[in-house]
Amino acid sequence: MNGMTVIVKTVTRWLKVFIFLYGIYIIITGHLAPGGGFAGGVIIACSYMLLTLAYGKEFTLKRLSLRAGHHLDSSGALLFLVVALFGLGSGGIFFANVLQNRYPGAKFTLLSSGTILISNIAIGLKVAASLFLIFIILSVLRIVLVEDGSQKMIQEEEEE
Amino acid sequence: MGIELYLFILLVFLIVGALIAVETKNLLSSVISLGAIGFGLSIAFLFLRAPDLAIVQIAVEVVLLIFLIRATIGRDVIPTKGHIHWAGLLIVCLLTVGFFAFGYYAFRSLNEFGTPIISAVGNAPSNKYLADGLKETGSANIVTSILLDYRAYDTLGEATVLFAAVLGALAVLRGRAWSKREKDK
């Protein structure tokens, strides 16, 4: 996969930042406006998919390797679990919103809801890394029909 | 009437799209009509005043379309041949009629369109969430306050399912890619 034409590459170069920024906005304001961690994570993964489709797999993997994706995925899940255990440790209840109970912020502001913001960021990180990993893995391998009618999994480079 | 008319038109559009997706011979047009169903569903969520779901639906639908088009492009569907099993067809028709009859009586027992079911139950937990959600969690978006505060345990399970799915996909699919890279070294 060597990428697409120069038109697609130029448009992608301008658009990718805005898509990424929109995903971050959806995650950060998840407790104030419609959206949240899941939707924002999917949008961030979309920006990386656009990059992969336009520039090719090697270009994306140079910027965000599979190993880094693994670490982001695991750290997102771990951060969410840490929030839960933090509530259990200091509030006595699993997922207790300790920050909001102790230091309630002004309503309708960014820091108004305690651990909900942290949970949103954790879930967004996790979903974005997961979908990116699945897309990269699916674009490395592909299933083709061989002569005797059975199906065989091959790599992209071997096919060409 | 108003909004019900729009929803009715959208539902007819969705059903026609689903029939095209099932019946068409070309795999790519089947995938594209599946995408049309997803975007129509997202508009239906907007009409039902659920913008959170509409955003999630439209984002997931884009990702799904990319996956499916990438997987099916340049590939032909192999049509299944064989005679029709009349007994099986009869059983399927009977089951469908029974399902619709059951659905008709089940939906008649619901409230009128637009009135929430929680209004019929006095001390439902949802009433407490709606009344005290902003005060207790500080989150202006009630959906997020339920997902990540009152019912965060569910969200933890959902995140676990996603984690397990990614682990499974990586374990199944990466074997050959890794072995080739080691061979190059």
B123 token code pair: 């001390």
Question: What pLDDT is recorded for position B178?
Answer: 54
Most A CBs within 10 A among B58, B144, B150, B183, hence the mutation to make, goes to: B144
Whether B60 maps to a domain, the answer reads yes
Q: Which residues of B96-130 are buried (b: 16+ CB within 10 A; e: fewer)?
A: eeeeeeeeeeeeeeeeeeeeeeeeeeeeeebeebe
Q: For residues B20 and B7, what is the distance between their CA atoms, to the nearest angstrom?
A: 20
Please give the tally of structural domains in chain B: 1
Any idea which of B40-44, B76-80, B163-167 has the lowest mean pLDDT? B76-80
Start-to-end CA distance of chain B, whole Å, equals: 69
Under DSSP, the state recorded for A109 is: S
Structure tokens at A139: 């674009």
Amino acid at B6: Y
- The answer to whether residue B8 is domain-embedded is yes
Residue B98's pLDDT band (cuts 50, 70, 90): very high
Query: Is residue A160 predicted with pLDDT exceeding 50?
Result: no
DSSP H stretches of helix in A92-114: 98-102
Answer yes or no: is pLDDT of B158 > 70.
yes
Closest residue of A to B77, CA-based? A145
Both tokens of A17, joined, read 């930042």
| DSSP states of chain B | -THHHHHHHHHHHHHHHHHHHHH-S-HHHHHHHHHHHHHHHHHHHHHTT-HHHHHHHHHHHHHHHHHHHHHHTT-----------HHHHHHHHHHHHHHHHHHHHHHHTSPPTTS-GGGTSTT-HHHHHHHHHHHHH--S-HHHHIIIIITHHHHHHHHHHHHHHHHHHHHHHSHHHHHHHHHH-
Q: What is the domain count for chain A? A: 1
Residue A94 maps to a domain: yes
Strand, coil or helix: what is A108? Answer: coil
| Residue A159 pLDDT exceeds 60 | no
Instruction: Check if A94 contacts B (Cβ < 8 Å).
Output: yes
Q: Tell me which residue in B56, B155, B163 faces A39 most closely, judged by beta carbons.
A: B56
Cβ separation B59–A39 shorter than 8 A:
yes
Q: What average pLDDT does the segment B83-112 reach?
A: 91
Complex-level ipTM beyond the 0.90 threshold: no
Q: Report which of residues A12 and B114 the model is more confident about.
A: A12
Angle between helix axes A66-91 and B152-173 (nearest 10 degrees) is 160
pLDDT value at residue A2 = 66
pLDDT at B8 over 70: yes
Coil, helix or strand for A144? Answer: strand
Asked if A139's CB is within 8 angstroms of B141's CB, the reply is no
- pLDDT tens-digit map of A28-87: 999 999 888 899 999 999 999 999 889 988 888 888 888 899 899 999 999 999 999 988
Instruction: Give the list of residues 6+ apart from residue A4 with CB closer than 8 angstroms, or none.
Output: A53, A54
User: Is B114 a residue whose pLDDT tops 80?
Assistant: no
Give the percent of chain A with pLDDT over 70: 86
Write the DSSP symbol of residue A5.
-
Residue A158 pLDDT class (50, 70, 90 cuts) = very low
Q: Which of A97, A113, A126 sits opposite B159 (nearest CB)?
A: A126
Binning pLDDT at 50, 70 and 90, where does residue B182 land? low
- Residue A153: domain span: 6-159
For residue B76, pLDDT over 70 is answered with no
Structural domain contains residue B125: no
Per-residue confidence (pLDDT) for residue B111, from 0 to 100: 81
Give the model confidence (pLDDT) of A94-113 as tens digits. 888 888 888 887 888 888 88
- Residue B116 domain-assigned (yes or no): no
In a domain? residue B164: no
Q: What is the pLDDT of residue A19?
A: 95
Please tell me which of A4-13, B81-90, B91-100, B172-181 the model is most confident about, judged by mean pLDDT: B91-100
Residues of the domain holding B55: 1-79
pLDDT tens profile B133-150: 888 888 888 899 998 988
Q: Is residue A1 part of a domain?
A: no
Query: Which pair of structure tokens corresponds to residue B134?
Result: 């902003």
Using left for φ > 0, alpha for ψ between -120 and 50, and beta otherwise, residue A156 falls in alpha
DSSP alpha helices (H): ranges in chain A?
6-28, 37-55, 57-63, 66-91, 98-102, 115-140, 156-159
Instruction: Identify residue B4 by its one-letter amino acid code.
Output: E
